Structures are given as structure tokens and as C-alpha cells.
């Protein structure tokens, strides 16, 4: 289903981080237990060291989502809502023309907008096309 994406994966294999969270204890040689808020209670609290990222204080280097504004469903998916259409483009393939639109999503910046089929976006989100006209 368009708009529903798995927790921790947005776009093509691009990992995202939520947090920061305090490390409570070291569970094994390479695992840590984190102090997670109750809003993401469905996520297991023990993480492998390669899944953790050092907290960066510089806002430009930091790509962290605030966990309080992240709405996680029971199946650990998040719902992405399109904000606006940035660009329209027609791709030509031999005898066929594909109409594409570049869509900016609610939790991503303009640099991480994705290309979607115009028909699908017009069917699922017609309000975006009313803004453009």
C-alpha cells in the first residue's frame, strides 16, 4: 500500500535513526539495552551495536527523528503523508510515456522526495493537484 513504510526504512534502503535514547546496560559483548519511551513499546529494547549511532550535537550532521512525533502502528509501520508535488516529468519508454511527479513527504525534506506515478497520486491524493492548479 502506498504511503505505509516499514519502521527504520524509508526510500531505497536508506536507514533512519530515531532518538536519542539512553543506554541502560550492556547485555552482551556487542548488545545494549536502551531506555525507550512508552510510545514505541512494540519495539524490542535490546540492540546490536552496529544498529546504534553516536549522538551528534551538530544539527547539520544529525539525521534523527524525534520519537514523540513518530506514530508507529501495531505492525511497526509508519504512515507517510504527501505534503506537496515538487516537479512533474514525462519519461519516454519506446512506445509508452509514463507521467511521474516528484512528491515531498511529511517527515522528509525536499532532497529526499520520491518519484511516483501521477495516476496513483491523483487517485490517492487528489488534494495535491488542486494546490498546483
With a pLDDT cut of 90, the percent of the chain lying above it is: 16
Tell me the mean pLDDT in the region 48-68.
Answer: 65
Q: Please tell me whether the overall predicted TM-score, pTM, comes out greater than 0.75 for this model.
A: no
Q: Where are the domains of the chain?
A: 7-77, 81-132
Number of H helices, E strands in the chain: 2, 12
Residue 50 three-state SS: helix
Tell me the mean pLDDT in the region 22-42.
Answer: 86
- Model pLDDT, residue 39: 76
Instruction: Choose among 59, 64, 110: nearest CA to 83.
Output: 110
Provide the mean pLDDT of the chain. Answer: 76
Tell me the mean pLDDT in the region 17-24.
Answer: 79
Q: Which residue has the cell 505534503?
A: 83
Amino acid at each position: 500500500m502506498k504511503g505505509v513504510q516499514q519502521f527504520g526504512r524509508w526510500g531505497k534502503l536508506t536507514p533512519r535513526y530515531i532518538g536519542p535514547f539512553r543506554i541502560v546496560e550492556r547485555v552482551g559483548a556487542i548488545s545494549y539495552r536502551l531506555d525507550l519511551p512508552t510510545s514505541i513499546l512494540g519495539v524490542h529494547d535490546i540492540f546490536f551495536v552496529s544498529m546504534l549511532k553516536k549522538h551528534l550535537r551538530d544539527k547539520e550532521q544529525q539525521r534523527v527523528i524525534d520519537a514523540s512525533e513518530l506514530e508507529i502502528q501495531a505492525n511497526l509501520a509508519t504512515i507517510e503523508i504527501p505534503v506537496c508535488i515538487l516537479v512533474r516529468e514525462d519519461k519516454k519508454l519506446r512506445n509508452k510515456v509514463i507521467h511521474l511527479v516528484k512528491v515531498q513527504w511529511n517527515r522528509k525534506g525536499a532532497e529526499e522526495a520520491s518519484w511516483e506515478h501521477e495516476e496513483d497520486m491523483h487517485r490517492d491524493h487528489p488534494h495535491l493537484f488542486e494546490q498546483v492548479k
